[in-house]
A = this chain, B = another copy of it.
Amino acid sequence: MYELGVVYRNITRADRTAADTLARFGSATVHEAMGRVGLMKPYMRPIYAGARISGTAVTVLLHPGDNWMMHVVAEQIQPGDIVIAAVTAECTDGYFGDLLATSFQARGARGLVIDAGVRDVRDLTEMGFPVWSRAISSKGTIKATLGSVNVPVVCAGALVQPGDVVVADDDGVVCVPAAMAVATAEAAAKREANEADKRAKLAAGVLGLDMYKMREPLAAAGLKYID
């Protein structure tokens, strides 16, 4: 966050299986499994609906209106990574388009999460390269100032350390610290196991009030029914 002009080449990535598995649960379940922390702000939206990915974070810190470091980070991508791009000030410029996406995809990146803007979204959609961003903008950028690669960054309000697991889908983006990835995957699996049964009951007309045994605590809290 505080070092500029530095590229860390050797980062410790989270457990591969956990990183790959977490996509299956989606960002909402993973966020719950972590204890309701780690979410990026809801202004981060996918450029097209339906993508759901997880992977290990490679981070890049950019300056407003300057995408020079996007080329530097490309070299640090390994298959299974997701690039997390933060900017030192609020910016909606289009830092990323179809050329960079071609490069990222060739390096094995699963997607991009950027707290700024992107462009060529029709091409990115056709390529199937998912991006979560705060804006879509044709505005180009320059290549003049050094940022950093693989330093801790704050992206859309969430701290991301290089190597953390990131889960992104239509509901948003959540970051799971590398050390918590395996435990979170287990907790998420447990949550999901319960959900199928609950869903069936609710579909059959059982009320959450009864299924979760809420009637008593609601009455204790003072809820009154009036006919």
In angstroms, Cα B66 to Cα A63, docked, is: 11
What is the total number of residues of chain A having a CB less than 8 Å from a CB of chain B? 103
In the assembled complex, A7 has its CB within 8 A of some CB on chain B: yes
CB distance from A208 to the nearest CB of B (A): 4
Chain B residue at minimal CB-CB distance from A148:
B223
Q: Please, how many angstroms separate the alpha-carbon atoms of A38 and B117 in the complex? A: 17
Q: How many copies of this chain? A: 6
Q: Which of A20-67 contact B (CB under 8 A)?
A: 26-28, 30-32, 34-39, 41-42, 45, 48-50, 52, 63-66
Query: Are the CB atoms of B65 and A2 closer together than 8 Å?
Result: no
Q: Is B89's CB under 8 angstroms from A92's CB?
A: yes
Interface contact B157-A159, CB-CB below 8 Å: no
Chain B contacts for A50, CB-based, 8 A: 122
- Whether B89 pairs with A93 at a CB distance below 8 angstroms is yes
A16 neighbours in B (Cβ, 8 Å): none
The answer, yes or no, to whether A193 is at the interface (CB within 8 Å) is no
A41 to chain B minimum Cβ distance, whole angstroms, is: 7
Whether B102 pairs with A202 at a CB distance below 8 angstroms is yes
Residues in B whose Cβ lies below 8 Å from that of A48: 49
Point out the residues of chain B lying under 8 angstroms from A52, CB to CB. Answer: 122
A98 interface hit (Cβ, 8 Å): yes
